[in-house]
Amino acid sequence: MEGTIRTFNDKTRTQAKKYVRQVAESVSRGFKAKAEVEFKPDEYPVTVNDPTVTKKVTSILRKIHGTKTIEGGPIMGAEDFSRFLQKAPGTFYFLGTRNPRKGCMNASHSSEFKVDEDILKYGSLSLANLAYEFGKPN
């Protein structure tokens, strides 16, 4: 069997691994079998945005005419960007490309994924604005 464990913090992740191991070993013992549980050492860390950076990014993005910037809650993603956030404060954000009127759905990792290409200019603009604002001397 193979699977993914996704959590919002490292403490819960450690506990989940412990429980997965306990359940697998207990169930297998009940069937007179043996379970070996392995976790890949190169797992993605939990993605945790820096609150100060997130506040500044949100402020900058809200100034882009024709867009709507919202702060969402936690999601159960697995993202390699989490490794960058362990080295420096930052924030991970999404560019909303879902547009049901055009048949554009945000079903990533799916054959149903279709992006509204009219939105891509806002992605470029957001990155340019962020680079400019964060590049200013204090």
Active site residue 19: no
> What span, in angstroms and rounded, lies between the C-alpha atoms of 34 and 29?
6
Choosing from 44, 79, 93, 133, which is the catalytic residue? 44
Catalytic residue among 19, 71, 112, 117: 117
HSE-CB of 107 using CA atoms within 13 angstroms? 9
Q: Retrieve residue 18's tokens.
A: 């412990």
CA–CA distance from 126 to each of 66, 67, 81, 104, 113 (Å)?
12, 10, 18, 21, 22
Residues β-bridged to residue 104: 99
Q: Is 44 a catalytic residue?
A: yes
Catalytic residues: 44, 117
